[in-house]
Amino acid sequence: GAVVSQHPSWVICKSGTSVKIECRSLDFQATTMFWYRQFPKQSLMLMATSNEGSKATYEQGVEKDKFLINHASLTLSTLTVTSAHPEDSSFYICSARVGTLYNEQFFGPGTRLTVL
């Protein structure tokens, strides 16, 4: 299957700083990428959907100014957590899909963010 990578796999930062997480589709072009947040032993919560070259669509309750998403190319999407606080500590997972005809999403390995 197709491979999606995330970098970094884990990050620790101080409260008030910004953190950028990269999501790359390694062997396919992803027209749509999704960003999820997951707390321990809980389900994946969709944060936003991004299509290459256009603004991301955020889910209700997700602060777009806090979680900046950029999908500048067909193989790269980034999530920037701005002015991070301890409550932003979580596991962030990206997922990518090719076009609309394919019904499988390929998931990255996730990034664990810890804000001190």
Stretch that binds another protein, among 21-29, 62-70, 78-86, 99-107 (CB under 8 A): 99-107
Cβ-based neighbour number of residue 30 at 10 Å = 28
Structure tokens belonging to residue 99: 């076009």
Q: Does 8 bind another protein (CB under 8 A)?
A: no
Q: Does 92 bind another protein (CB under 8 A)?
A: no
Does the footprint of another protein cover residue 28 (CB under 8 A)?
no
Instruction: Please select the residue that binds another protein; options are 7, 20, 49, 74, rule is CB under 8 A.
Output: 49
- The C-alpha atoms of residue 46 and residue 32 are separated, in whole angstroms, by 13
> Is the backbone peptide bond immediately before 109 cis, with ω within 30 degrees of 0?
no
Kind and range of the H or E run holding 20: strand 19-25
* Binding footprint of another protein on the chain (CB under 8 A): 1, 32, 34, 38, 41-44, 46, 49, 91, 93, 95, 97, 100-105, 107, 109-110
